[in-house]
Amino acid sequence: PPREALAVLYFGNQPEPNITEYVVGPLPLPAYHRDVTVQKYGGKLPYHRRPVTGKEYTDINGLIRSELRKAPRFLTACCESDGTDLVILTTAPRGFRSGDRMTWFVLFHNVAGTGYYVSPVGLEVLVDHGDLHVSRWQLRQVFYNGRYFSSTGDLEQEFVAGALEVVRLKQPQADAVLGSMKPRRPPGSPGPLQFEPQGPRYSIRNNHITFQGWSFAFGMNPNTGPRLFDIRYRGERIVHELSLQEALALYGSNCPGGMSTRYLDGSFGIGRFAYELVRGLDCPYTATYVDRHYLAETDTPRTNKNSLCIFEHDSALPLRRHFSDSQSFYYGGLRKNTLVIRTISTLINYDYIWDFMFHGSGAVEVRVHATGYISSSFFHGQGTDYGNRVGPHTLGTMHLHHIHYKVDLDVDGQLNSLETQDMEYEFVKDPWSRRNTIERPYLRRKRLEKEDEAAFPLNAPMPRYLSFISPKPNKWGHPRSYRIQIISFAGKHLPTNSSMERSISWGRYQLAVTQRKEEEPTSTSIYNQNDPWSPTVTFADFINNETITNEDLVAWITVGFLHVPHAEDIPNTVTVGNGVGFFLRPYNYFNEDPSVDSSDSVYFSSDQDAGACGANPLACLSSAAACAPRLPPFHYGGFLNL
Active site residues: 265, 350
**Which 3 state secondary structure label does DSSP give 122?**
strand
Give Rg (Cα) of the chain. 28
What's the Cα-to-Cα distance from 230 to each of 1, 90, 364, 453, 557, rounded to whole Å?
A: 15, 38, 13, 28, 19
Integer Cα distance of 484 and 490 in angstroms: 17
Query: Length of the chain in residues, anyone?
Result: 642
**Which 3 state secondary structure label does DSSP give 41?**
helix
Integer Cα distance of 35 and 26 in angstroms: 15
**Which 3 state secondary structure label does DSSP give 344?**
strand
Give the DSSP letter of residue 465: E
What's the Cα-to-Cα distance from 622 to each of 197, 603, 615, 625, rounded to whole Å?
A: 10, 18, 14, 6
Give the DSSP letter of residue 110: -
Strands (E), 129-195: 138-144, 147-149
Count CB atoms within 10 A of the CB of residue 430.
Answer: 11
Q: What is the dihedral of CA 419, 421, 427, 428, to 10 degrees?
A: 70
Q: CA torsion sign, 586 to 590 to 593 to 596?
A: negative
Q: What's the count of helices (H) and strands (E) in the chain, helices before strands? A: 7, 33
What's the Cα-to-Cα distance from 295 to each of 6, 221, 292, 301, 304, rounded to whole Å?
A: 11, 11, 11, 5, 11
